[in-house]
Amino acid sequence: MRIVYRYLPTLSLIAMAACLPLVLNPRGNALRVAATALLFAAVAQAWNIVGGLASQISLGHAAFFGIGAYTSTILYLQYSLSPWVGMVAGALLAILAAGLLSVPTFSLKGHYFALATLAFAEVMRVIANSWVSLTGGPVGLTIPFGGSNPLLFQFRSTAAYYWVILTVLVAICSVFYFMSRGKMGYRLRAIRENEDAAEVSGIDTFRVKLWSAMISAGLTACCGTVFAQFTFFFDPDSIFHMSGISIRMAMIAIIGGIGTLSGPVIGALFLIPLEEISTAFLSSSAAGVAQLVFGLILIVAILIQPQGIVATWPGLMQRIHFRRSH
């Protein structure tokens, strides 16, 4: 009973979110924006596992996102394999890639690691662009529509995509939650506070970081598959995009609150609708203004509240209590 009570707020929030398509027009724009926000919350949470928990700042997670999108789409187009199966295949491939990438990069710290991951995403982009027989090259891949078919990950209404994305988000958040607790969480925290000290006290830091990197990459690839199915089209430039994908997922986690469970969700619910509204209202008059605003938000967030939106709340509450007590 106590467990139920403990998780009650979270569960009721998930239930509320699941009911959203019943309130909104199931084929309308608002629902699509909501689905996009949840998708980016999911991918930011996946990034958060390696960026927040293991404190390894990756600027190249688009590599895994793209691996997920390409694997499932190529398997579907060339071998008529359902994207659901392709999603698992993509995740496995991304885990493998993350494992291989870890060998040379995980001794790198901070800025060096960020640089190496950035280059890795670029390598993936060049390969996708040049290996035309496999990836279709620079033209990109489109996902043909053959009517609603849940087994083939094809739906007519946005609501179905929304529910799939919500499920993915809940799953990734659960992974994050369980990784941040227990032995694994303890080890990750130790590494985050002081890696050398953690190593000395008997934690196999390489193994712990490797695990989080592989789990993060696999989950990011799952999101990539969902993204491809949801937008029907992608090309090497857009799926491996540095600012559009890699930086964006990190930015969401950071603005929401890096290393926290709710941070990426809050960050995405704040940034994605803001982005949507500003591009809808500004794009015909002043191109670039919307992006400019995002850059400013990122800078201000880091200078004023590096812990993200999540952290402003307790502070605000405290201040209110403080005033009251006087």
Partner 1 sequence: MSFIQSLIDGILIGGVYGIIATGLSLVFGVLGLVNFAHAEFLMVGMYVAWFAWHYLGLDPILAAPLSFAVVFLLGYAVQRHLLDRVMKASPTAQIFLTVGLLIVLENAALVIFGSGFRSVNVPYQVESFRLAGLFVSAPYLYAFGATLVVNLALWLFLERSWIGRGIRAVAQDPMAAILSGVDSKRTYRIAFGLGVGLTAFGGGVILPYITVSPTVGGQFVVLMFTVVVLGGLGSILGALAGGLAVGIIQSFSALFFPISLQNLVLFIIFIGVLAFRPQGLLKGA
Partner 2 sequence: MYALKASKLNIIAGILATFLLVCIHPAFGADNEVTIGIVQPLSGPNAQFGINAMHGSELVAETINAQGGIKSLGGARIKLVVADVPTPNTAAAATQRLISQNKVVGIVGTFVSSTTLGVSEVTERAGVPIVTFAFADQITERGYRYVFQVSPKGTAFGQAQLKYAIELGKAGGEAIDKIAILYEDTAYGTAQAKGLREAAVEAGIKVVVDEAYPLGITDVSSLVNKVRTSEAKIVFPVSYLNDSLLIIRTMRQQQMDIPVIGGAAGYIIPDFRKGLGDLAQNVLSVASSNHDLYPDLASRFKDKYGSFMTHEALMHAASLAVLAKAVEKAGSKDPEKVRDALASTDDCDGFARCVPGGCVRFNEAGLNTRAFPIMVQWQGEEPVTVYPKEVARAAAVWHAKSGR
DSSP 56: -
Helix or strand holding residue 82 (H, E): none
- Can you tell me whether residue 305 is helix, strand or coil? coil
**Nearer CB in complex with partner 1: 261/298:** 298
Q: Which of 243, 277, 281, 315 binds partner 1 (CB under 8 A)?
A: 243
Helix (H) or strand (E) holding 55: none
Q: Which of residues 121-150 bind partner 2 (CB under 8 A)?
A: 126, 129-130, 132, 137-140, 142-145
Look up tokens 């191109």; give the residue.
Answer: 287
**Interface segment toward partner 2; rule CB under 8 A; list 8-16, 80-88, 97-105, 200-208:** 8-16
Q: In whole angstroms, give the CA distance from residue 261 to residue 180.
A: 9
Query: Cβ of 200: how many Cβ atoms within 10 Å?
Result: 9
Say whether residue 239 binds partner 2 (CB under 8 A): yes
Residue 134 binding result from partner 1, partner 2, none, given CB thresholds of 5 to 8 Å by partner type:
none
Neighbour tally for 165: CB within 10 Å: 25
> Binding pattern to partner 1, positions 120-149, x when CB under 8 A?
x-xx--xx-xx-------------------
Nearer CB in complex with partner 2: 113/263: 263
Find all residues with CB under 8 Å of 207, minimum gap 6, and list them.
none
Contact yes or no for 45/265 (Cβ under 8 A): yes
294 binds partner 1 (CB under 8 A): yes
Q: Hey, is 114 helix, strand or coil? A: helix
97 scored as a contact of partner 1 (CB under 8 A): no
Residue 289 interacting with partner 1 (CB under 8 A): yes
Query: Shortest gap between Cβ of 148 and partner 1 (angstroms)?
Result: 39
Residue 230 in the binding site for partner 2 (CB under 8 A): yes
Whose Cβ is closer to partner 1: residue 12's or residue 243's? 243
| Comparison of 176 and 211: residue with beta carbon closer to partner 2 | 176
Give the three-class secondary structure for 54: coil
